A = this chain, B = another copy of it.
Amino acid sequence: MLKPKTTLKEIAKILGVSKSTVSKALNNSHEISDVTKDKIQKFAKEHNYKANKLAVNLKTGTTKTIGVILPSIQNFFFAQVLKGIEDVATADDYNIITSFSNESLSKEINSMELLANGMVDGFILAIAEETQIKQNFDHFSEAIQDGKPLVMFDRITDTIDCDKVCVNDIEATYKATKHLLNLKCKNIAVVSTIDHLSVGKLRIEGYKKAINEMFAKINKDLLVIGTTSNIDFKIANLLKDKTVDAILALDEEAVLAAYKASKFREYNLPKDLAIIGYASEKMAANLTPSLTTLNQHGELIGKAAVNLLLNKLKNNTNTSFEHKPIDTTLVERDSTKGFVSKFNTST
């Protein structure tokens, strides 16, 4: 528009030197004398010269930029992961470009294509919901084929051979369910709106594993799987006859629905019902009663993911893929603290 950007060529002409001298001087090459370097660097600074990134990247074939593709921006967990990614990447002088798939396959493909052709050196991503449902992973293999290494986290697939960082989801809900069992809960329901996601399925498995260790069989009525629009109704139904004494909620939607329904059914929280769930720490702390959560340590996951990617980027002879698990922690709050089930016959 206004003033066209200063270029190497212009500086060279004005200063009466060659383009390459300017380039080398600005990159602090030892080939250039200090006098010329000083002169050129000073001039560049004064004229606010900035190298054109496109040209540099095109020439060098590397961008020192990582593309991060997240399914959703309205999600505390992903935000935490991004924070972890940024911290490590920035420390290593890598830049981050973030793009959101909004849980849509076509937007995910789009984002990858936008970034794959020159903009980034590699990807870190969690698979979009629609992609997981349709099981269409071609864009991932293409990226890898094109020499862009890829690290998946949280929402992963076995179909693609690449580095992966994930939560040990089975272990997490197993631990949570055990915790409720230790509280002498007899009828532990599990509620979820994410059963179409890989993580959703794994979390159910952990629940089942713990229940199976205690009881002869799983009571199907205690498995409440719904969608954002019908979960409120389904949980209200579950709580109708007040036999349920604990709920394990597998996602934030389900958590909020559980609170709402228990209020609606006039459960007295936390006395009548213990709840453990997945939610942001902020939300968990401010619910009434505050919620005992499974903290996934998003930042750690992000950091682990970048480290795997940087490793591949810097050392591309490395062809083996890692599958790195990050443990989940149970953070106890009022929704379970000191809970005693009314069905507890022992004490």
Closest Cβ of chain B to A290, distance in Å, is 10
Interface bits A316-327 vs B (CB < 8 Å: 1, else 0): 100000000000
- As for how many copies of this chain the complex holds, the number is 2
Q: Which of B54, B99, B285 contacts A119 (CB 8 A)?
A: B54
A4 on the interface (CB 8 Å rule)? yes
Measured CB to CB, the nearest residue on chain B to A142 is B48
Q: Which of B50, B79, B145 contacts A3 (CB 8 A)?
A: B145
Q: Which of B55, B65, B82, B149 contacts A73 (CB 8 A)?
A: B82
Docked-complex contact A58 and B50, CB < 8 angstroms: no
Closest Cβ of chain B to A25, distance in Å, is 18
Q: Which residues of B contact A48 (CB under 8 A)?
A: 142, 145
CA distance A5 to B93 in the complex (A): 26
CA distance A74 to B82 in the complex (A): 10
Q: Which of B53, B86, B142 contacts A114 (CB 8 A)?
A: B53
A118 on the interface (CB 8 Å rule)? yes
A159 on the interface (CB 8 Å rule)? no
- Beyond A53-B118, A65-B114, A288-B288, 5 additional contacts (C-beta under 8 Å) are A2-B144, A2-B145, A3-B146, A51-B117, A98-B100
